[in-house]
C-alpha cells in the first residue's frame, strides 16, 4: 500500500514545479528544487497536520527552498507566469494576435508588481488556490488574503493602464 504522503506529493509536484519555475526561472533547477522539497516534506511528515490541505504546506517548504537557492546565487529571476493558452483556437489570425498581445501585456504587468502582490495574484489566479489555502501559505487570516488580493488586482489594473498609456504615447511619437 502506498504511503498517503507519497500520493500527496505526486499530486502536488506539477503545481510545485510551476511555482518553482516562477521563482528560479530554470527548468532543471526547478525540478531539482521540487525533488528536494519532496524529500524535506517526507522527512518532516510528522509535522504535517492532515486536517489541512497538503499543497499549502508543501508550497511553503518549496518556496523557502527556492528563495534560499536564489539567495545563494545572489540573483533574482522574476519569470512571470508563462504563456496563457489562447482563448479560442477557432479565432481569426487577427483575433489570435490581439489575444497574444493582451496576454503579453498582462504577463508584463504582473512581472512589474511588487513580489508580495505578484505572489498573491499567482496563487489565486494561476494556481487556482482557495482563499483558505492562500491564508495557510501566507500564514495570515482569510480576510487579509481578500484585502491583499483586492490591492493586487487594483495595482495590476493601474499597471496595465500605465503600460497602455506608455504604449499609445510611443506609437504617437513614431506616427
Q: What is the pLDDT of residues 14-27, one digit of tens each?
A: 999 989 988 888 88
Are residues 114 and 62 part of one domain? Answer: no
Q: Domain range for residue 67?
A: 4-73
Q: Residue 76: what pLDDT?
A: 45
More confident residue, 40 or 91: 40
- Tell me, yes or no, whether 50 lies in a domain: yes
- Cβ–Cβ under 8 Å, residues 99 and 91: yes
- Tell me, yes or no, whether 42 lies in a domain: yes
- Tell me, yes or no, whether 82 lies in a domain: no
Q: Residue 129: what pLDDT?
A: 87
pLDDT tens track for 131-155? 998 998 888 999 999 999 999 999 9
Average pLDDT over residues 36-56: 92
pLDDT at 62 over 60: yes
Q: For the chain, what is the domain count? A: 2
Band of residue 1 on the pLDDT scale cut at 50, 70, 90: low
- Tell me, yes or no, whether 64 lies in a domain: yes
Average pLDDT over residues 59-88: 68
More confident residue, 60 or 77: 60
- Tell me, yes or no, whether 44 lies in a domain: yes
Render 80-114 in DSSP notation, one character per residue: ---PPPPS-TTS-HHHHHHHHHHHHHHHHHHHHS-
pLDDT at 80 over 70: no
pLDDT tens track for 106-137? 878 888 888 889 889 988 988 888 999 899 88
- Tell me, yes or no, whether 86 lies in a domain: no
Q: Residue 173: what pLDDT?
A: 59
- Domain stop point among 73, 108, 132: 73
pLDDT at 174 over 90: no
Q: Residue 172: what pLDDT?
A: 60
CA 120-112-37 angle, 5° bins = 45
Q: Residue 72: what pLDDT?
A: 81
Q: Residue 77: what pLDDT?
A: 47
- CATH number of residue 158's parent domain: 1.10.10.10
- Tell me, yes or no, whether 159 lies in a domain: yes
Are residues 62 and 16 part of one domain? Answer: yes
Are residues 51 and 108 part of one domain? Answer: no
- CATH number of residue 30's parent domain: 1.10.1740
Amino acid at each position: 500500500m502506498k504511503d498517503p504522503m507519497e500520493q500527496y506529493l505526486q499530486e502536488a509536484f506539477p503545481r510545485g514545479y510551476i511555482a518553482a519555475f516562477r521563482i528560479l526561472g530554470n527548468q532543471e533547477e526547478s525540478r531539482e528544487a521540487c525533488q528536494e522539497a519532496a524529500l524535506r516534506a517526507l522527512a518532516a511528515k510528522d509535522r504535517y497536520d492532515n486536517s489541512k490541505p497538503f499543497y499549502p504546506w508543501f508550497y511553503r517548504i518549496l518556496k523557502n527552498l527556492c528563495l534560499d537557492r536564489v539567495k545563494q546565487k545572489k540573483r533574482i529571476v522574476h519569470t512571470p507566469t508563462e504563456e496563457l493558452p489562447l482563448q479560442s483556437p477557432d479565432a481569426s489570425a487577427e483575433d489570435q494576435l490581439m489575444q497574444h498581445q493582451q496576454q503579453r501585456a498582462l504577463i508584463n504587468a504582473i512581472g512589474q508588481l511588487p513580489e508580495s502582490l505578484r505572489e498573491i495574484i499567482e496563487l489565486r489566479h494561476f494556481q487556482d488556490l482557495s482563499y483558505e489555502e492562500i491564508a495557510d501559505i501566507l500564514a495570515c487570516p482569510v480576510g487579509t488574503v481578500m484585502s491583499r488580493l483586492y490591492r493586487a488586482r487594483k495595482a495590476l489594473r493601474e499597471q496595465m493602464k500605465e503600460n497602455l498609456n506608455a504604449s499609445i504615447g510611443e506609437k504617437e511619437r513614431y506616427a
